[in-house]
């Protein structure tokens, strides 16, 4: 019996620290993920003056962005930066209705039910129906927020957040697109898919990956690094594709070209649990294109569109046997359909007890060992590995 850091005495068995799937409050994996800054929305999807309900790791929150300032700037040219987003508790402290249904007023949020108003620090500042307001006694929880590269990051852990990490490669010139999709399975199905280069030859046999050379079955190997795990896929000619899993839930790869104009792209994506049976991915794609070609790409219709609804519907039709994947051709979102089938097909929570891992699963085994080691250290209040991101991590394509 071990006294856990959240104060509750609970039995800790090996099953606890190999449980990477359950991420609700108080779970080991959930506590671990909450120790890192995580993206939870795209900047472009959060309008000024709107509040949204948000579920992350089986917890509910309120996300809003203040109203745009109506004040014109003196030079008439410059524009004010958009107001920063705020992440607050889900419920009003008065009688608990959900705050996202209310009204954003300036940089504050007014509750839908009886009009209590909160500022961006969570402090209650108005109680319209109270003859003797007691606002000063009412404060709801708020969370640190950063906006970076088109994504809204939050820190959901206890105490001071760690320094906000930057990804210099993704700040470089080129066409940058924030991406997102929702998938109806546990986030760890996706994490393991990301360190599984063998699947490309089967799952993505009809795709830009294989069109551009990732056809043959690779020899897979990998190693733990300062920032996570590097995965290498060596193909018969000797060329090696290297991708990176940055702890705890980030994948960095070279992505396949959309067409001859774009070349291989750099892609980074965070897999974020919504709850234990659904996850969302937030990412950045950087196309290394400049000048007129870049402008053409920026104007391309549908750039960065969230096509989850279409992808999940088609994948559902394939998984229920209505159609076969070979019958859908090669739509632009084919890779999403293919990965959805593979990952949701494992079950919303994959059954790892009844797998039969082989030599080619060597990096999957490695990443599980790394995670289990860290979760065990967390359970026993021992020091965790301090992951360090180098100035530049290169994913390579090797074709």
Site residues (CB under 5 A) for Fe ion? 339
Q: With CB under 6 A as the rule, give the number of residues binding ligand FES.
A: 9
Candidates 12, 43, 69, 97; binder of ligand FES (CB under 6 A) is: 97
CA angle 272, 280, 36 (to 5 degrees): 15
Indicate which of ligand FES, Fe ion, none lies near residue 41 (CB less than 5 to 8 Å, by partner kind).
Answer: none
Complex with Fe ion: residue 16 or 339, whichever CB lies closer? 339
92 near ligand FES (CB under 6 A): yes
Contact 151, 269 (CB under 8 A): no
Cα distances (Å, whole numbers) of residue 284 to 170, 205, 227: 8, 24, 19
Q: What are the counts of helices (DSSP H) followed by strands (DSSP E) for the chain?
A: 9, 20
Complex with Fe ion: residue 34 or 235, whichever CB lies closer? 235
Indicate which of Fe ion, ligand FES, none lies near residue 185 (CB less than 5 to 8 Å, by partner kind).
Answer: none
Of residues 101 through 140, those in contact with ligand FES by CB under 6 A are 111, 113-116
Residue nearest to Fe ion (CB): 339
Complex with ligand FES: residue 139 or 219, whichever CB lies closer? 139
Task: State the Cα–Cα distance between residues 126 and 115, nearest whole angstrom.
Answer: 8
User: How many of the other CB atoms lie within 10 Å of CB of 14?
Assistant: 9
Complex with Fe ion: residue 207 or 310, whichever CB lies closer? 207
- State the alpha helices, DSSP H only, in the chain: 14-17, 28-33, 187-194, 199-203, 208-211, 291-299, 308-319, 334-344, 362-379
Structure tokens at 353: 């007890």
Q: How far is the CB of 272 from Fe ion (least distance, A)?
A: 18
Complex with ligand FES: residue 130 or 380, whichever CB lies closer? 130
Indicate which of Fe ion, ligand FES, none lies near residue 95 (CB less than 5 to 8 Å, by partner kind).
Answer: ligand FES
Task: State the Cα–Cα distance between residues 251 and 394, nearest whole angstrom.
Answer: 12
Q: How far is the CB of 105 from ligand FES (least distance, A)?
A: 14
Q: How far is the CB of 251 from Fe ion (least distance, A)?
A: 10
Supply the DSSP symbol for 218.
P
Provide the binding-site residues for ligand FES, judged by CB under 6 A: 92, 94-95, 97, 111, 113-116
């Amino acid at each position: 019996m071990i006294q856990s850091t959240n104060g509750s005495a609970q039995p800790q068995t090996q099953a606890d620290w190999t449980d990477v799937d359950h991420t609700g409050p108080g779970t080991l994996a959930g506590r671990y993920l909450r120790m890192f800054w995580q993206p939870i929305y795209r900047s472009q999807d959060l309008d000024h003056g709107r509040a949204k309900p948000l579920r992350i790791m089986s917890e509910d929150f309120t996300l809003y962005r203040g109203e745009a300032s109506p004040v014109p700037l003196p030079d008439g040219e410059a524009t004010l930066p958009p107001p920063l987003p705020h992440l607050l508790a889900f419920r009003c402290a008065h009688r608990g209705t959900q705050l996202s249904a209310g009204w954003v007023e300036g940089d504050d949020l007014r509750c839908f039910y009886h009009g209590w108003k909160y500022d961006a620090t969570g402090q209650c500042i108005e109680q319209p129906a109270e003859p003797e307001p007691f606002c000063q006694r009412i404060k709801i929880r708020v969370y640190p927020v950063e906006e970076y590269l088109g994504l809204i990051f939050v820190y959901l852990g206890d105490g001071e957040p760690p320094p906000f990490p930057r990804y210099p490669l993704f700040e470089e010139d080129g066409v940058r697109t924030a991406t997102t999709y929702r998938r109806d399975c546990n986030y760890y199905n996706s994490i393991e898919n990301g360190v599984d280069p063998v699947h490309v030859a089967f799952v993505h046999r009809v795709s830009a990956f294989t069109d551009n050379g990732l056809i043959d079955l690779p020899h897979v190997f990998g190693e733990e690094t300062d920032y996570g795990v590097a995965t290498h896929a060596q193909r018969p000619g000797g060329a090696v594709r290297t991708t990176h899993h940055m702890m705890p839930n980030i994948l960095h790869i070279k992505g396949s070209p959309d067409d001859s104009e774009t070349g291989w792209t750099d892609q980074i994506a965070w897999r974020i649990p919504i709850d234990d049976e659904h996850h969302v991915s937030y990412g950045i794609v950087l196309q290394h294109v400049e000048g007129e070609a870049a402008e053409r790409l920026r104007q391309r219709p549908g750039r960065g569109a969230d096509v989850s609804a279409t992808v999940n519907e088609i994948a559902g039709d394939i998984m229920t046997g209505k159609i076969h994947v070979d019958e859908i051709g090669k739509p632009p979102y084919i890779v999403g359909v293919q990965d959805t089938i593979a990952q949701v097909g494992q079950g919303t929570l994959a059954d790892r007890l009844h797998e039969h891992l082989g030599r080619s699963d060597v990096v999957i085994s490695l990443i599980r060992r790394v995670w289990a080691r860290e979760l065990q250290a967390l359970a026993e209040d021992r020091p965790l590995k301090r992951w360090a991101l180098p100035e530049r991590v290169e994913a390579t394509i090797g074709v």
